[in-house]
Amino acid sequence: MTRTPSAGRPLKDTVHRNLWKRLATVIVFVVCFLAAKDATETDFGEAIANMGQAADFFSNLLSPDWAYFAKVWMPLVQTIRMSVVGTSLGLLFGVPFAFLCTSNVTGNRVVAMVARVVMDIIRTIPTLLLAALVVAFMGIGQVSGIITIAVFTFGIVGQLIYQSIEISDPGPVEAARSVGANRMQIATWSILPQIGQDIASYAMYAFEINIRASVILGYVGAGGVGVLLNSSLSLMRYDRVSLVILTVLVLVVIVDWVSEIIRKRLR
């Protein structure tokens, strides 16, 4: 009888064992799928019956209203402006706060732990919920979107920079301490030069995310092109929805392309 060279087990038994494992996996998947279908009261028959409506939706979506671009470009500029200002503010406050999160700079583990907890709390708040809270306090408009993006950038970039500080070379830090440098001088002259490229890369990464996020923020009144997208969907003007989506798609592709070029030059 043929045996496998490694296990010394008959090939027939191995094939049968694998067959039963795969069959059991399929059965478990089917049971979970049916249980989820019953729990969510999903009716696939209704979905199939509405295929005609779906066809009408996609036919309108594939016919953009190009004349509507005259009203799209200004909110698009607002979206870019919100992302630039919000990302800049998030970096302005996130970089110094990231230094507080590491005991290498503060020299106090309690301060570092409290700073990390604050950072974790900010990062756990969903962007849409954060935008809704800001809109409730500040009102509808671009200012709410800028503040939301700034807080989001503060959380994500601060965490990434903090991790970069933690893995930075301790040699320059020890050298600065040996000549009597204070903590501010250590952070400025020993750590910051090591993570400068990382900060620039994280800034571009955050800007890419914020361009996409700013579109969604319009749903809760935070300004930008998302407001037009929400109103077009509410009015079932899918030809306008298509144009807004295409415009945002082109913007995101351009931002990703420019960001990739900048990151490559920073390496």
DSSP codes joined into one string, 156-183: HHHHHHHHHHHTS-HHHHHHHHHTT--H
Spatial contact of 213 and 127, defined as CB atoms under 8 Å apart: yes
Pick from 148, 187, 155: nearest CA to 91? 155
* Cα distance between residue 156 and residue 86, in whole Å: 13
Question: Tell me, what's the pLDDT at 2?
Answer: 47
Residue 88 has pLDDT above 90, yes or no: yes
Per mean pLDDT, which of 23-27, 70-74, 93-97, 205-209 is the most reliable? 93-97
226-260 residue pLDDT tens? 888 888 888 888 888 888 888 888 888 888 888 88
Q: Mean pLDDT across the chain, nearest whole number?
A: 82
Domains located in the chain, CATH noted: 66-266 (1.10.3720.10)
pTM of the model: 0.75
- What one-letter code names the amino acid at 262? I
With cut-offs at 50, 70 and 90, classify the pLDDT of residue 267: low
